[in-house]
Amino acid sequence: MEFRIKKAEFVTSVGLGGSYPEQISSEIAMVGKSNVGKSSLINSLCGNGKLAKTSQKPGKTRLINFFEINNEFYLVDLPGYGFASAPKVEKEKWGELIERYLASGRVKHICMLLDIRHEPTADDKMMFKYILYYAIPYTLVATKADKLARSKRQQAANSCARALGAPPYAVAYSSETGDGKDELIRRIGAVIEVPPNAIDELDK
C-alpha cells in the first residue's frame, strides 16, 4: 500500500534542558539554515498550511518542534542555523540544542534542506559533518525549486549536493507548487515502513 500522510498534529516544543516526548516508532528530522523553508516544506508535505509556523524573518524557530504523523512517527523541525544577526550566545544555544538531539539516538533519518539557488554555506557543510559523524541516514532536499526554470532544477539540486561533499543527488522541491513532494513522501514511507536499504533503491 502506497504511503501517504493522512494526519499530522503538533505535539510539543523542546528547548535546552527540556524533555523529549515519549518515543514512538521513528523520528525524521528536518534541518537547514534559517529561512531555507523547513516550516513551509513540513506544511506542504502534510497538506496543512498552518501546521508549522512560518515567518519572513529568519531565526524564528528556536525550539525543536515535534509533529506526530499518522499516529505513527514524529516529523521533527530543528532550529535553523547560520542566522547572522543572532547574538553569539543565542547561536551557541541553538548549536547545543541541535547537537544534543542528533546525539540522542532518536533520529532515524534526516532531511537536510539546501537552497537550490545557492552553494552550500560553511554552516551547511558543518551540519553535514555532524550528520556523518553521528552516522544518521539522510536525504538532501533542494528547496525553492520554483525559483528556477524547470529544465534547470534537477541539475542545480545535484550541484548543491556535490558542493556539500555528498553523492550528487538531491530532491528538487517547491513548497509553492508541490514539485518533489511525491518523491519525498516515497522516501519518508521507505524510512518508516521498509528496511534502510530501500532508500538506496529509490536512487536506482
Grid coordinates representing 136 are 544518521
Contact 109, 139 (CB under 8 A): yes
Contact 67, 109 (CB under 8 A): no
| Rounded distance between C-alpha atoms, residue 99 and residue 119, angstroms | 23
* Mean pLDDT of the region 104-132: 96
pLDDT at 204: 41
Q: Where are the domains of the chain?
A: 8-202
Q: Using the predicted structure, report yes or no on whether residue 110 has a pLDDT greater than 60.
A: yes
* Mean pLDDT of the region 1-28: 92
Q: Using the predicted structure, report yes or no on whether residue 199 has a pLDDT greater than 70.
A: no
Q: Give the CATH architecture of domain 8-202.
A: 3-Layer(aba) Sandwich (3.40)
Helix (H, G, I), strand (E, B) or coil at 142: strand
Helix (H, G, I), strand (E, B) or coil at 172: strand
* Mean pLDDT of the region 175-197: 86
Compute how many other C-beta atoms are within 10 angstroms of the C-beta atom of residue 188: 22
Contact 156, 190 (CB under 8 A): no
Contact 67, 11 (CB under 8 A): yes
Compute how many other C-beta atoms are within 10 angstroms of the C-beta atom of residue 33: 23
pTM: 0.88
Instruction: Give the distance, in angstroms, between the CA of residue 184 and the centroid of all CA atoms in the same chain.
Output: 11
pLDDT at 77: 94
Report which secondary-structure segment, H or E, holds 12.
strand 8-14
Q: What is the pLDDT of residues 129-154, one digit of tens each?
A: 999 999 999 999 999 999 999 999 99
Q: What is the pLDDT of residues 81-93, one digit of tens each?
A: 876 566 777 777 8
* Mean pLDDT of the region 154-180: 97
pLDDT at 196: 45
Question: What DSSP letter does each residue of 42-92 carry, written as one string?
Answer: HHHHHT-TTSS---SSTT---SEEEEEETTTEEEEEPPPB--TTS-HHHHH
